[in-house]
Amino acid sequence: MSVLVTGATGAVGQRFVPRLLQWAGGEEVRLLVRDEERAVPLAGRGARLVVGDLREPGDRRRALAGIRDVVHVAAAFRDVPDEEAYAVNRDATLALGAEAAAAGVRRFVFTSTNLVYGAGRGRPAVETDEPRGDGPLAGAYPRSKTAAEKGLLELHRDRGLDVRVARLAFVYGEGDGHLEASLRWTPHMAAHQRIQMVHQADVARALWRVLSAPGLAGRVYNVADDAPVSALELLRLVGAPVPEGMAERASDDPWHGVVSNARIRAELGFRPLYPSLWTARDAGAL
């Protein structure tokens, strides 16, 4: 195996790569990184670094040379201009996919988001639901991810690229700061609004299963734990005050972001190590 990982110094990538190095059994793990200094700890574990920008064609080609598999984790997420979100999440992603197809890459795993589903459907969203990118958290991030998914799956159909999509719920754990960051929006939600989550350790395990299992070309998987928590529970778990009147608020869309993990459980045998945020708290894994 020779696998290229993008976004290796981000919150998900820096927790996935050390596990990948262990699971890959000594095969080459190559990282395309913009900041070499931040990637030094991963290089110390055995990863090979290619310093460059995902948006630069020459850097992408250097990173892809001789690579068999790709796990594309890099994304422009919070607090970036819309044009940057589209440039990274859509344009650079589709260029990387096209170049991977031309280079004969065997498998291309794309990390997307449960936010592509958009407005709720009165039940947990499943992978066959059409992504819409609308709803309470609509914006450049879910819309650019939706466009990237569509384009990559077209590459699969038109050019035979073995694309596998992992739609991640709200990722947290291992000191990534995401629970604290949620305080920017959780206090403004209805107390009973549910939030679908997934621990970093389970994201890494799911990505490995999606990458390594045969016969998944064109498949999409929700990556989520088993028990969404309410906004009120999340505030209490992080020790934040509960705003006055939160319990009386109505939720415009109680199913927004809630997804089913039945497919990844049935097809890949995935079982979360941390089936709920409470489990992770009790295990000291936050």
Is 61 part of any domain? yes
Is 240 part of any domain? no
Is 247 part of any domain? no
Is 220 part of any domain? yes
> pLDDT at position 252, please?
83
CATH number at residue 128: 3.40.50.720
> pLDDT at position 133, please?
79
Is 282 part of any domain? no
Helices (H), the chain: 13-23, 36-44, 57-64, 82-85, 93-102, 140-159, 178-181, 200-212, 231-237, 262-268, 277-282
Q: What tokens does 211 get? A: 């990458």
Buried b (16+ CB within 10 A) or exposed e, 50-87: bebebbeeebbeebbeebebbbbbbbbeeebeeeebbb
The whole domain housing 119 covers 2-172+198-224+261-266
> Do residues 81 and 89 make contact, with C-beta atoms less than 8 angstroms apart?
no
> pLDDT at position 28, please?
97
Please give the chain's pLDDT, 286 residues, in tens: 699 999 999 999 999 999 999 999 989 999 999 999 999 999 999 999 999 999 999 999 999 999 999 999 999 987 889 999 999 999 999 999 999 999 999 999 999 999 999 999 999 999 999 998 787 778 999 999 999 999 999 999 999 999 999 999 999 999 999 999 999 999 999 999 999 999 999 999 999 999 999 999 999 999 999 999 999 999 999 999 999 999 999 988 999 999 999 999 999 999 999 999 999 999 999 9
